[in-house]
Structure 1
């Protein structure tokens, strides 16, 4: 079984506050529909995308070693080529994105849900460390959540042929996850109100799927790169202006 600690969904305590934060930040979060041909995994009843030209400040809450900070920064910056957002890392603990590294989990709020978290509290958790095989993958994945992307294995069209008893047992033994947590994080599709982009098994947002947990019928490796479809979605919601006054919505 994969040795990377799974990224677990962070529950929102106040769905109304989540909705208001999304719409106040970017009114288009309620208007993205299948009319565009590109509504997405980022959407539940509403999307949680930042305003396309938003400047996101990012800070660390627990003063990690400089080497860890720099490694996390390096991989977060990899997303910058595909979005019109700008990023800066600040020492102020009231940044928009607040990372906690003294933790036992890898997780992040989805997009604008970060605005519902009290000042000084973490919006992202990174347990992985440089030197671990999947450190870069974890950082790319968690910041994908911060941009508004959900877990791709929960796409309604994924139809992964899980052997559920094997999954319950494996995740309990390896990660101490109970049945409720496994159901939420692995088996419960995103309940989209709109048409979505095609299922992308190559997405950086996809859980690895071990062949033994599908009785040999299906497998997805640990994806280590931002996929073409990830880039396309990022460029659509955060279009990059080009010199002639247009925008680049597809990488």
Structure 2
């Protein structure tokens, strides 16, 4: 996993260009769940700051943390005034300060499982909110998806990241909700799906694939070959299913 965690820096500009951002509905969902003012937030693995901008735009004072220096530099190009940025892995963050909200945008699966939840709890105010959100961006047309899988097969069996705790894809509660439900520090665990469809050009879809860790960790000649083959079999425009799975939990006020 470590190689995949730190693979994004070499495509930071492409990541900013091709990865979809987040809708306003997401920040509304998180702030409403809070049921009290959320003034401060800590972001885990902020990447180029797509979620950072969303929460900062809603008036939240965000401290955005990111271990990769190149990704952080890209974030700083786009971050609104007032966003504090810190180069650090989640596991290396100094404890002491606490926040109304701790959140991770498509980044929590990169954190170390041991001590993850006790550290999140230590960073939250009692009664504070934890949020994790993300989800795969998949081809909506089954025939096109099958063709892409066939083109990819000689290089990669899959380009997705399996559930960190082995939760099957069809189970009602997905990770990290499964872990949060068992965690002594959190209550009121909720899962919500924000449905989303996007239509992009074949070139932009391949650009998106070029920012996915499974492709990034291939040797350069293989990566270029598989992406070229995928682009050749795609129609000019493709429809994507890009649902956002949101998990919310509250730190126990008595812990």
TM-score for both structures, normalised by structure 1: 0.30
Structure with more of its chain in strand, by fraction = 2
